[in-house]
Chains A and B, each alone.
Chain A
Amino acid sequence: MLKAKYDVVVIGAGPAGLAAAIEAKKTGAQDVLVVERAQELGGILQQCIHNGFGLQIFKRDMPGPAYAQHFIDELAGLHIDTLLDAMVLNVTSERHVHATSRGSGFVELDGRALVLSMGCRERTRAQIALPGTRPAGVYTAGTAQRFVNIEGFMPGKRFVILGSGDIGMIMARRLVFEGAKVERVLEIMPFLTGLTRNYVQCLMDFDIPLQLNHTVKRILGNNRVEAIESVQIDKQRQPIAGTEEIIPCDTLLLSVGLIPENELSRKAGVSLDPVTGGPFVDERMQTSVPGIFAAGNVVHVYDLVDWVTEAGLLCGRNAAQYAIRERKLHGRRVGIKAGNNVRYIVPHVLDKESLAESAQRLQMRVTMPIEEPVLIEVMNGEERVARKTELYVRPGEMVNIDIPQSAYDAVQRASELSVRVVRR
């Protein structure tokens, strides 16, 4: 059963979200909910079946799913609620969350603190404006990774990969393992954009040619990709005439970068850094909206999952502390109501503990003038907490009254205060 309000609600169950949820619970959050749009926990790690994960934190070389399994198991032992197959549609700056799920339909709930951990998306063909026909057989490397590693089918037989990022190189090896031919990896930059170790163990080991300073000029083929035309580029990123080459292939994979996934952050009013594409955060991973925290690839694109986990832990700890403070503060707060002949009163609520530090001034306006001496009283039901006299009151003149520090004990007992103005 879902609750209407949680201490911490985590959106996205990749390594960042899992770590945040675990750490929030361990820090003392009463209840934690993880909402994930996929049918299982783990995020993108579930399709990253290659090893190389966990060297920093576990001092072990693990495949992506094994790394995820570790945190999934830990989460399961901590009584953390999960809502799977559930897409979060909207988040407000008051931390109200709207989601739709196959199991529970439309869901609305609140978090005292929120963790945004939606990860990132891949750049697509449209975003890099590749000219040519629009045949089938053009995929992002991550989509192909999901097909091959989770769903179990090959998107093609003869590949060209554009981009020397890690996902592209790792997919090159993976496709060779599954019997495909990888004709070429093209990189527009004059350097490798992924890790050198991936160049060695994914490309060199299997004699897959890499060409730096090269890009795809055009895609050929009508129904299906039949070839691509590659071209060398100069220092100004302009194609060099005469260097074109037709490379026959049936599939083009794009590994051209990731963009943080921040539609929800925008809806919540979180300010975003135009350089990273992710939210501005402080040292506690809090965004510009109090109580909304963010961690992982949603903030900036990481190259090592260990640092994602670390950011998730930090974020979860702070989100829990925020929620705990929020809950405590809520119990410590008392509303102040406008009573007899008071039109309004400011502040509307008072932290009871504030009296431990100093007297607290209330300001109000009366509804009707009284041209004779009056008593201004702050009441807790029938018990008087503070009083003051005035010779007269008029709606045009603001009235003040201080709750003295000596009223500390009386205020602690109150569940609501009211202020009234009466004739003496």
Chain B
Amino acid sequence: MTQEHRKFICITCPRGCALDATVEGKAVVKIEGSSCKRGMDYVKGELTDPRRMVTTTVRVKGGVHPLAPVYTKTPIPKPRIFDLLAEIRKIELKAPVRFGDVVIENALGTGVDVLASRNIPAKSEAS
């Protein structure tokens, strides 16, 4: 198979290393420009199964705010982001919400849970 050069920007940490990768199909031959070994994992992931963390909000009834922020416990496949958002939009939680509450278990069968990012006390509970 022929080798080709591809450029990536690693998003694993805020450093954002610019990576020059030599790839053969979906295999990585070598990479240059990474400041740590997670750069390699990132490129492998981008080639075979690109994933992203998703953060959004879900409606809450009776809380101090009308929304609770939520996040995927681990990254989910990039092509499923908008399906997941549609799924989350269908939900309405009831206050109180606690940090770490599971909002959706095994979202879209990806094995990834969607969790609440903070407490949303019920309106009367708020002091």
- CA distance in complex: A73, B18 (Å): 38
Name B14's contact: one of A55, A65, A148 (CB within 8 Å).
Answer: A55
A262 within 8 A of B: no
Which residues of chain A (188-238) have a CB below 8 Å from chain B?
195-197, 199-201, 205
A304 to B13, CA, bound (A): 11
Q: Which residues of A contact B14 (CB under 8 A)?
A: 52, 55, 195, 197, 303-304
A49 touches B78 (CB 8 A): no
* Closest Cβ neighbor of A68 among chain B residues: B118
Contact partner of A66 (CB less than 8 A), chosen from B59, B67, B99, is B99
A-B contacts counted at CB < 8 A amount to 78
User: A195 contacts B16, CB within 8 Å?
Assistant: yes
Which of A62, A201, A303, A304 makes the CB contact (< 8 A) with B11?
A201
Chain B, residues 72-99, CB within 8 Å of chain A (1/0): the string is: 0000001000000100000000000001
Say yes or no for A240: interface residue by CB 8 A criterion. Answer: no
Stretch at the interface among A131-139, A149-157, A402-410: A149-157
- A152, B59: Cβ atoms under 8 Å? yes
Q: Cβ of B66 < 8 Å from any Cβ of A?
A: yes
Distance in angstroms from B127 CB to nearest chain A CB is 8
Which of A49, A73, A200 is close to B56, meaning CB atoms less than 8 Å apart?
A: A49
A340 beta carbon closer than 8 Å to chain B: no
B64 on the interface (CB 8 Å rule)?
yes
**B69 and A205 contacting across the interface, CB-CB below 8 Å:** no
Instruction: Out of A55, A65, A197, name the residue touching B69 (CB < 8 Å).
Output: A65
- B64 adjacent to A39 (CB under 8 Å): yes
Judged by DSSP, the binding face of A is helix
- With known contacts A69-B117, A196-B16, A51–B99 Cβ distance under 8 A: no
Q: How many chain B residues touch A (Cβ–Cβ < 8 Å)?
A: 26
Chain A residues with CB under 8 Å of B10's CB are 197
Question: Is A61 in contact with chain B by the CB < 8 A criterion?
Answer: yes
Q: Is B119 an interface residue (CB 8 A)?
A: yes
Do A63 and B71 contact each other (CB < 8 Å), given the known contacts A69-B119, A149-B57, A195-B16? yes
Does A177 belong to the interface (CB within 8 Å)? yes
Distance in angstroms from B13 CB to nearest chain A CB is 6
Q: When A and B form their complex, which 7 residue pairs have the shortest distance between CB atoms, in order from nearest?
A: A196-B16, A65-B118, A49-B69, A197-B11, A152-B66, A63-B117, A65-B117
**Would you mind naming 22 contact pairs between A and B with Cβ atoms under 8 Å apart?**
A49-B56, A50-B55, A52-B14, A55-B13, A62-B71, A63-B69, A65-B118, A66-B117, A69-B99, A69-B119, A149-B57, A149-B67, A150-B67, A151-B67, A152-B65, A197-B9, A197-B11, A197-B14, A200-B9, A201-B11, A201-B52, A205-B52
| Other A-B pairs beyond A149-B57, A200-B9, 7, CB < 8 Å | A39-B126, A65-B117, A66-B99, A69-B99, A197-B10, A197-B13, A201-B52
Binding site for A on B (CB under 8 A): 9-11, 13-14, 16, 18, 52-53, 55-57, 59, 64-67, 69, 71, 78, 85, 99, 117-119, 126
